[in-house]
Structures are given as C-alpha cells and as structure tokens.
Amino acid sequence: MNKSKYINFLFLLILISSCSLTKGLKEGEYLLYDIKVEGNKRTSRTELLNLSRQSPNTRIPLLNTSMGVAIYRFGEWTYDSTKHLENKQRYEAERKELLEIEENENLDKKQRKRLFKLNNNIASLEKRLEYGNFFMRTGNPPVIYDSAKAEESSRQMAYFLLNNGFFDASTDFSVEKRRKRATVTYLIVENEPYKIDSFYTRSDDENIYEILLRNQRRTNIKVPGIYNQSSISQERQRVEDLLKENGYYTFSRSYIEYNVYKDTLEKSVIIEQVIRKPSFADIHQVYFLDSVYFSIDPPSSEFVDEGIKTEFRDINFELYRDKYSEKIIASRIFLNKGDLYSRRDVIETQRQLANLDLFRFVNIAFDTLGNTLRPRIYTQPNQKYQITNQMGASITEQIPGPFFSHSLRNRNLFRGAEIFEFFFRAGLEGVVSFTGEGGVFRSRELNTSASIIFPQFLFPLSSQSLQKFGRYNPNTRTLIGYNYVNRPEYIRESVNGILGYSWNTRNLRQQYLVNILDANFIRSNLSNEFRDLLEGLQNQGNNLINSFLPSYVSSVSGQVIINFNQYGAFQRNKASLWRLFIESGGTTLNFVNREFIDSRSLAYFQFLKFQSDFRRFIPLSRRQTFAYRLNLGLARPYGISDGILPYEKYFFAGGSTGIRAWQPRRLGPGSFTPPTFEDGTFDYRFEQPGDILLEGMFELRSKLYGYFDGAFFIDLGNSWTFQEDLSRPGANFEFSRFWREIAVGTGLGLRMDFDFLVLRLDMGVKAVDPARPVGERFILGNFFSSFLGERGQTVFNIGIGYPF
C-alpha cells in the first residue's frame, strides 16, 4: 500500500514536469521566464515590478512547469471551437424563428420558456468562444514575451519615478533570450530626488484661507520631504473634505490648483496651492441648514398613502401610517436648523438611519434658497418580516455533519424601531469520544433563542441621552435561549439569558459590547463510562467532574474590537484588528453567605477571564500577502469554584483556526504526555482543557492561478493550567520552562477564493511536540522519513473562510 502511494506520487510529478512551459512555442516566440529590476536604491522593487505589463507564470519550484498552464493546455486539448460555432448558429436560427413568430402573435408559455433557454445557451457559447472552456478559464496560458509591453512597462516605471520626485530619472530594459526563455531586466537610474523647499496657499477668500491655516498641521504635503504626486492628490481631497465640513456645500476639488516650481540646481521644488474663485461669484458661498423634512413613503404604489404629518425637534415628519417613533428617528438625524452644512453630518445621518434596519433605502437631498439648505430625507419601509432558512454542512474531526437553521426577524416590534429575532439551529457534528472509545461519533446539537434589540440604551431613559448617544449606534439586547448537546459521553442542556449593551465610535474603528447579565442554568446527564473516567480523575486530585454538576453560571463581561484600516475588507493596504475580552463570573456571590450557597442543590462558580486577540494583514505584492495572529487567554477560578471552571469557559489549543498540526482541542496542556497506542504513538482522542492559552499563527499567502491560492504557515503555542494537575503531569505553567513547551506546527494550504466564499484545505505537520521528552521534541524530520510522517503527525483541516 505504501509503495503504491509512492509510485502514484512519482507518476504525478513526472506527468506535471513533462508539461514543459516552452513546449509548443512557435518560431520567434519566447516564454517570459522572469522579470527583474536593477539600479533602484530608494524606490520599492515590488512597486516597480507591479508596473510591469507582463508577469511570468507561477511555476512549481525545481520544475520547469506550471499547474495553471497544465490545466489550460488540457482545456485546449479538449476544446472544439467548431462544435461551439455550429451549436451557436443552430441556436441563433431557432431563436430567429421564435422572434419572427413573436412579431405577429404572442408566444405561448412553452415557446417563451424555449426562447429564454436559447438566449442563455447562446450567451454561454459566446463566453466559451471568447474565453474557452472551463479548464482554459481556470488555468493560465503561457506568457509569451512581448517587446511592446516591455517598452510600455519601462515608460510606466519612468512615470512612477517622476511622480515620486525623481525628475531626472531614466529607465531602460534588456532582454536575455536563452532556450526559448526570455528574462527581462529593467534598468533604473534614479539620480537625486527633488525635495519640497516650501508649500503655501493662495486664496482671495479670507474665510477659506483662515480655515486652511487653522488646519495646516494636518496637511499631507510635508516640508521638508521628497516630492510625491500622491500626497498632492491626498491634499486636494483633504481640502475638499475640510471645506465641505465648514459649510461649503457647492465646493469641489476642481477649484483647487497646484503649481510646482522646480529648481534644477538645488534639486528642490516649491508647491503653490491655489483656491480659484467660482465663475459666478467673487467668493464661495457658505450654506446654513433650515428645518429638516423626513418622509417614509408607502412600500409600493399599490398601497393607499396614509401619511401622518407631525413635527418634532424642528423636523417635519410625514410617515406612512402612524407606527414609527419620531424620537428614535430624530436621535439618528444630526442635521439641525441653523447649523453650518457639514457633509460628515449628512453621511453619519444616512448611516445611522440605515443601522436601524427599518428602511430599504435612505436618500438625502437639499433644496437651495440663497445661502440656506433645506434637507429632505426620503425613505421607504423595509419588509416587516424576514424569514431565512439555511441548510449546509459543518466539518469537525474531518467528518462533515449536516445542519438546518431558521431565523425570523420582526422589525419595529413595539413602534420604537425594536427588532425581534428568533433563531433555531439543529445539526450533527463528528466528534471523538472523550472516554477514548475508538472511532468518530455523531454529536447532536440544537439551540434556539429569542431576542429583542432596542435602538437605544434602556438606562438612562432621558431624551437628552437618547439624542446624545445617537451618533454611536447604541443598542440594548435582551435574549433568552436554550441549548442542547448530545455527545457519546454526556447530554448537556442549558437555559441562558443575556442583557447587553453595544455601541461603536463615529469613525467605526472601535466597537464595544458590555453584557451586564449573562446567566446560565446548566444540567448534564453523564454516561456510565464518562462518569467513571471523571471519578478516576477526581481520585487523582482533578475535580473536572464539578464542571458537569447541575449549576448556575452568571457573569458580567465586556469586549472591545479595534479595527485599524478596515481589517477584513481584503484591500491592498495594511490592516489590523485587536479584540479584548474580559469576564467576571459569579461576582455577586461575593456578597452572599457561603453557608447559603452550600445549602443550594446547584453548583456555583467564580472566575475571571481575559483574552487578547490581535490580527494583522500585510500586502507584500499584488500576488503575496503576509498575515499573522497573536492570541493570549487567561481564565482563573477562585472562591467557591474550588479550582474548577465551567467547562465552556476553559481554553483549548489545536484546530483549524489555531495550531493546525493538532486536532481540535487536543494540544497540551504544557508538557503533559497523552496516552499511547501499542505502536508507541500518541492517542489524541481526549480533549485537553486549560486555564492559559498562548498562540501565534504566521501565514504567507500567494496567488497561484485563477481562484486558487496557496499558503505556507507556521503555528506555535500551547495551553497550560495555573495549578499543578496530578492527573496530567507537566500541565502547569512555570516561567522557567514554559518556553520549552511551545508546540510548533507548519504546513501548506490550498484555498479556492470565489470572492463571496473561501474554501480552505490546510495540511499541518507537527514540527516540535512538547509532549515528548526534552531533547526529542523536534520531530519534523520524521515527516520526510516516511509518507506523511509517523501516525498522527500530519493533520488535514477543512474549513470555510480564512483561519484569521
């Protein structure tokens, strides 16, 4: 069996390597094998290479081949354009006949259906004729060297240098042709960059000049500094935004002009910013706001207009039926009579009204009279009810499990813009038995909840606070839910209730969530085998069995998410996200007599929990990005907990979003050595809860071809306990040895990125295993000594979305 695997693997390598990139090239054609940049000292090599109009095919290291080209050539081999042309002509002739019939008489249902199908077939054939079949569209054709595109690339590099202050720069390129391959080298001569000697503004409008002078420290043009064309573009946008925040409704960037005076001897420039006057007046007009008109139109023209006209806080309301709260709507409108026009207030009003989720759209227009603007806000009600049903499969323990979910959303429940949500989910998941029984079992899970979201803070209730906090999208969430889990070793049920506040800052950079009450009643029914296992651990001093007693768990928690530069939008800029979470469990029990607690039939817990999760995304080039995640977690029981946490509050290491070389929840804690099989390899069937979690994941992502991406990753980390655990020697955290207990995993990943969905397959390989004796923990070499390494060394993770 092992020999056949090796033979198949070698056959695949030979097959791929036989698809030489230079195979089939015509006379005079050369494969673009590589592009280089030489001579640049101050400018970025990556930015210069990104300007090239041609990029070489992504190749497999050590092999003169490309997977994308192999797929494309297979598509060419199976592609028959003649057949597609014949089918297209036949479909077009049939469509013509139907269109002629349609001109004289109406088509029946069958003919209309046929005409619709013909149009789809013709569109599909046109796509195949233009772009080829599926394999040709998925793969990449060989990139043939084009001298015209090389010259254009050289010119673009010259423009780039010019825009970055290298006015005396020059560019050229050379081509080395060898064995049907072409290597293009772009030769850069930068010379000395020009620096900004001074920057000043000239304007006949004194008010504009004073505004710009007050905000001069925020300018994007820095003196002294190297001239940069992009900073001028950014400055033009900044000036336009600044003036629109100060009443200049009709001002635009077209009134801003820049003159650059160059000194070739001193290698410096003087930049003059000119604010031109409008053609119809001597100065730009400043506008003030009049009273606001707010309208909710009927959902469709079929409804009789039952508009109700009211007035509140200088806002004239015309509402479709009298079922909307003027106070709530007014708290999300920041356009006040007598104020200067501010585009920021207009955008914020539009965004906060949309956050209410009551309207299909929010449009804001202005009526102009002299220097007065009258805002008009037009909206239309959203659907009262929204029902969503989903079916799919989740993958845990490498086993897919189906699930079904249903959600109901009822908008404007009590006429105060409240949102009622009902959620139900039932599913099966593959799990490994905690008791160590062989095989993978099905875990049945069911959860349901009902919640009401209020678009305000319930406390305090003053009208001033409603208006004060409206800019921060305040919400109060009340929830009651039920959860049911049926695993081979236990059945666990819980009823929970939550009362929480959420809000975000005006720039959307920070999001806050505070749960002032999170109460859970938990009941567990243990199997005999699992009870025996827990009692055995208890005899060794591990009281994990207390986590499965009938219990009441309450806590107060807070979370802040800081998003730097729109992390998660997958833009080309650097971005970061930092999530901080803190939780205090059983805090009120500090004020209750211990004898009263001991007399109760429920178990109670007191604990403190903290987690810091930092993620960063760094684009390296158009085809490569570097991302990493640093995750720290601490959970400490105290008081009546007797050293035990509720099971859901423990930290677990390993899994598709953690240390990927270990199965989910199986790594650690510390240097604890798990049980072994007869062949001496470790038995990872048991979950390993811990009080401390430390993780670091680093990933280099590269575009391969089409919607296929590749990744190389290194994960490191582990979990520990605060106290010694006699049932798991080496599990506790100690500064003197924790660094030797850091597990390291590495591997490769393949992703299919469809923009709307990312499918992920990661192969994690254990490189450093802290469960082994000191001096024997580096085991990466075992992976190369046998196929996929020793038993349990390689773990495959299937997931949806990026790991972080």
Query: What pLDDT is attached to residue 789?
Result: 79
Residue 10 has pLDDT above 50, yes or no: no
Side-chain-side CA neighbours of residue 12 (13 Å): 8
Model confidence pLDDT, tens digit, residues 563-577: 988 777 666 678 899
Query: What pLDDT is attached to residue 1?
Result: 43
Q: What is the mean pLDDT of residues 430-443?
A: 54
Model confidence pLDDT, tens digit, residues 272-306: 999 999 888 889 999 999 999 999 887 766 655 56
Asked which of 523-532, 597-606, 762-771 is least confident by mean pLDDT, the reply is 597-606
Higher pLDDT, 308 or 598: 308
Model confidence pLDDT, tens digit, residues 688-716: 899 999 999 999 998 877 678 889 999 99
* Number of other residues whose CB lies within 10 A of the CB of residue 309: 9
Query: What pLDDT is attached to residue 14?
Result: 45
Phi and psi at 397, nearest 5°, equal 55, 30
Q: What per-residue string of b and e applies to 107-127 under the rule 16 or more CB within 10 Å gives b?
A: eeeeeeeebeebeebbeebee
Higher pLDDT, 6 or 336: 336
CB of 526 closer than 8 Å to CB of 490: yes
**Closest Cα partner for 635 from 554, 581, 716?**
581
Q: What per-residue string of b and e applies to 251-270 under the rule 16 or more CB within 10 Å gives b?
A: beeebbeeeeeeeeeebbbe
Asked which of 193-202, 675-684, 687-696 is least confident by mean pLDDT, the reply is 675-684
Q: Output the six-digit token pair for 664.
A: 């989910």
Residue 595 has pLDDT above 90, yes or no: no
**Segment (H or E) for 157:** helix 147-163
Query: What pLDDT is attached to residue 9?
Result: 45
**Closest Cα partner for 99 from 77, 119, 85?**
119
Model confidence pLDDT, tens digit, residues 119-176: 888 888 888 777 777 777 777 788 889 999 999 999 999 999 999 999 999 999 999 9
**Closest Cα partner for 480 from 512, 521, 443, 451?**
451
Q: Output the six-digit token pair for 146.
A: 């084009």
Rg (CA), the chain: 33
Distance CA 549, CA 647 (A): 10
Q: What is the mean pLDDT of residues 231-260?
A: 94
Q: What is the mean pLDDT of residues 533-556?
A: 82
Q: What is the mean pLDDT of residues 505-513?
A: 89
Residue 656 has pLDDT above 50, yes or no: yes
Query: What pLDDT is attached to residue 436?
Result: 46
Distance CA 495, CA 571 (A): 41
Percentage with pLDDT > 70 across the chain = 90
Q: Output the six-digit token pair for 322.
A: 């009298």
For 716-750, give the DSSP string: EEEEEBSS--TTSTT-B--TTTGGGG-EEEEEEEE
Contacts of residue 47, defined as CB under 8 A and 6 or more positions apart, other chains included, come to 160
The band of 721, judged by pLDDT with boundaries at 50, 70 and 90, is very high
Model confidence pLDDT, tens digit, residues 574-585: 889 999 999 999
Distance CA 383, CA 455 (A): 18
Mean pLDDT computed over every residue of the chain:
85
Q: What is the mean pLDDT of residues 234-260?
A: 94
Distance CA 223, CA 239 (A): 18
Model confidence pLDDT, tens digit, residues 306-351: 668 888 888 999 887 768 888 999 999 999 999 999 999 999 999 9
Residue 95 is which amino acid? R
